Amino acid sequence: MNAPMPSRTEEEPVDLGDLPRSVGFMIRMAQAINYESFFRTFEDKTLKPGEFSVIWVIALNPEIKQGTLAQTLNIKPAHMTKLVQRFVNAGLVDRTVPPEDRRSIRLTLTDAGRTYFSKHRAGFLKVHDTEGIGLTRDETEQLLELLQKLVFKGRR
Amino acid sequence: MNAPMPSRTEEEPVDLGDLPRSVGFMIRMAQAINYESFFRTFEDKTLKPGEFSVIWVIALNPEIKQGTLAQTLNIKPAHMTKLVQRFVNAGLVDRTVPPEDRRSIRLTLTDAGRTYFSKHRAGFLKVHDTEGIGLTRDETEQLLELLQKLVFKGRR
DNA sequence: TATTGTTATACTCTATAACTATA
DNA sequence: TATAGTTATAGAGTATAACAATA
């Protein structure tokens, strides 16, 4: 986390041309800013944004199948295995094998996991609120709507 | 690139709660979609989105200092070194040491680099256009404006 | 045979620190 | 001393394929 972002500490101006008209480019840049703002604002530093969202979904969907979780959050199964292992080692998540399908694994928060979640839930959403992001409340709402449309394409 | 995204192949519905109200989460999801759409649409597969934007900025700013480039695109110097090495090996970029400051390195596209850039420049922007993204032209414009405000905070 | 998750491998990206050569 | 870039190392994320257990 060196430069906050496209910092204009530079003497020489840089011409980006139409690059800021690429949705992909701008989303990448926005993510970097957001990541940085997360670490500046979020109280707890043990979990990173992506990890916290995994805990979030397990919290809201106890006994969720690991595969379903991976698919929902667009995380590759191989990577999900490692993430879950870390959570289990950290004592946040329990794994159970359901009798109906003994190939699958179901995930639930432990008491410690639930405590952790309750404690940081509000802060996790608030981090990306108006403050520190440079958008007004209305603009933030607008941005969220557009991103939701882009991501869920009417599925949700 | 397995599932296009939060694919609803799942039997069990997943409750995300207020997660879609987190700008950070939605940006992460949007980036995944975008990345996927890039590989589905972009003609050339040799460069990834991030790499192409580096070529782009060098193209528009010949003799740019490597450090300025890294700062502009929010890429860590150590990583930029490797990226540039790859580009040089691929014959796309030339490195020169300017006499004024022999610590620094200035980057310029080779003829091959310029050819490559010209060939794919249009496609790179078009990839993230309306099509495949599920937004109307107006919505895309709106999204771009908001992201630009978020990223550049009035600097550009 | 197909599916769920795991393991292994390889590569990219991030983060950090130590290093060099210049300034 | 400070700066520009490099090297080295370690960790996280992504992509793939091969594998075990189960269906």
Which residues from the 37-66 window of protein chain A have CB within 7 angstroms of nucleic acid chain C? 65-66
A2 chain-B contacts, CB cut-off 8 A: 76
Choose between B33 and A80: higher pLDDT: A80
- Of A134, A31, A26, A2, nearest in space to B71 by CA: A2
CA A143 to C1' D4 (Å) is 38
The Cα A152–Cα A18 span in angstroms is: 27
Contact between chains at B31 and A32 (C-beta distance less than 8 A): no
Q: How far is A74 from chain B (nearest CA, A)?
A: 6
Do residues B105 and A122 lie in contact, with contact meaning Cβ atoms separated by under 8 Å? Answer: no
Structure tokens at B63: 């003799």
From residue A124, give the alpha-carbon distance in Å to each of A118, A132, B122.
10, 14, 38
Closest residue of chain A to B21, computed from CA coordinates: A144
- Of B101, B123, B102, B111, nearest in space to B41 by CA: B123
pTM (whole model) above 0.75: yes
Strand partners, A106: A65, A96
Interior/surface letters A34-51, b for 16+ CB within 10 angstroms, e for the rest:
bbbbbeeebeeeebebee
A positions 93-152 inside 8 Å of B (CB): 124-125, 127-129, 133-135, 139-140, 142-144, 146-152
Task: Examine the pLDDT at A7 and tell me if it is beyond 60.
Answer: no
Could you report the per-residue pLDDT of B102-133, keeping only the tens digit for each? 999 999 999 999 999 999 998 888 766 556 66
Nucleotides of C under 7 A from a protein CB: 3-9, 12-17, 21-23
Q: Among partner residues A76, A128, A155, which is closest to B22 by beta-carbon distance?
A: A128
Could you report the per-residue pLDDT of A123-154, keeping only the tens digit for each? 888 766 556 668 898 999 999 999 999 999 74
